[in-house]
Amino acid sequence: MAESVRVLLVDDDPDFIEANSIVLEASGFEVLSANSGAEGLRMVREEKPDVVILDVMMEHTDEGFAVARRIRSRLRSDVPIIMLTSVGKVTGYDFNPEENPDFFPVNIFLEKPVPPSILVNRVREVLKKRGEDQ
């Protein structure tokens, strides 16, 4: 990649951040991290990442949904968001952003655990789509 692509990981689990940072950096991405929704919002504003990978359950059970809506409505409607979480396993609900894009304003919704190759492929997928839309 000629230009460094910046990926922001927002998750309150330091082990998740560390493991996925290693995977993404090995694939050529620059990784930024935030351990809360508030810190993630600040970093979206200040650091302007190219992709956001966002957990749902952090300080509050649905914090990731609120963060995604705030990014879309007030900060950067164009930044791709990948929601990567275990909320479906915990709640028993099947979350589908295509059925309710206002509540799930994300590009891709993935249940943890996600194999490293799938995560890297999904990041590349949203970047490619973003490039095609511009």
CA Rg, the chain, in Å? 14
Helix or strand (DSSP H, E) at 10: strand 6-10
Residue 61 belongs to a domain: yes
Residue 26 belongs to a domain: yes
pLDDT of residue 104: 65
10 vs 8: CA distance, rounded Å:
6
Residue 1 belongs to a domain: no
Buried b / exposed e across 18-52, counting CB within 10 Å, b at 16+? eebbebbeebebbbbbbbbbeebbebbeeeebbbb
pTM of the complete model: 0.85
pLDDT of residue 3: 65
6 vs 21: CA distance, rounded Å:
11
Per-residue pLDDT tens digits for 26-64: 999 999 999 999 999 999 999 999 999 999 888 877 888
Assess whether the previous peptide bond of 101 is cis (omega < 30° from 0): no
Residue 14 belongs to a domain: yes
13 vs 35: CA distance, rounded Å:
7
Task: Supply the range of the domain harboring residue 113.
Answer: 6-133
- Residue 21: CATH number of its domain: 3.40.50.2300
Per-residue pLDDT tens digits for 78-123: 899 999 877 555 545 555 555 655 556 888 888 888 999 999 999 9
Residue 75 belongs to a domain: yes
pLDDT of residue 1: 41
Helices 37-47 and 63-70 sit at what angle, rounded to 10 degrees?
20
pLDDT of residue 59: 81
pLDDT of residue 4: 87
The conformation of residue 58, written as its DSSP 8-state character, comes to: S
- As given in the structure block, the two tokens for residue 35 are 């351990």
Domain count, the chain: 1
